[in-house]
Amino acid sequence: MDLRERLNARLKDAMREKDTRRVGTLRLINAALKDQDIALRADGRTVGDAEATATMAKMVKQRQESARAYEEAGRLELAEAELEEIGIIEDFLPKRLSDEEVAAAVNTAIAETGASSVRDMGKVMGVLKGKYTGQIDFGAVGPMVKDRLNQG
């Protein structure tokens, strides 16, 4: 079952269960994917699973930032709602890699690309994004890659 089929099946289940938070979040995901489909229509293609995963990872990041802002403003009920949405979206994302797995992935990507200096950082990040979208926080990995390339 591909990602969209799972998404639609979960949406139907949530509607039957009258879970308004889950229904709303799943509809937001569907809307984001349909927007991308419309944008890609000119090329005669639709959003694939990798692109959908990237979109949902971006949605998670947006909600994390919103939750942080709400907590700082003392709006804990809104922060809690954002965190619930994160949980719903993450059900469709691949499992996050542990710190050790991220370090191993970085080392492998550096070896694969033959990267030897910071100038090669784009190549390394490209390999990581191609293989680990949704599994790695690329904002945190960037400095790690830079450090490894400076040491090498």
Q: What is the CATH number of domain 3-90?
A: 1.10.1510.10
pTM (two decimals): 0.73
With a CB cutoff of 8 Å and minimum separation 6, the contacts of 138 are 125, 128, 129
What's the pLDDT tens digit per position in 74-131?
999 999 999 999 999 999 988 888 888 888 998 899 888 888 888 888 888 888 888 8
Q: Which two tokens stand for residue 152?
A: 């090498």
Q: What is the CATH number of domain 99-151?
A: 1.10.10.410
Q: Which two tokens stand for residue 71?
A: 């907590």
Alpha helix locations (H) across 73-137? 76-90, 99-113, 121-132
pLDDT for the residue 1: 63
Separation in Å, CA 37 to CA 8, 34, 42: 16, 5, 9
Residue extents of the structural domains in the chain: 3-90, 99-151
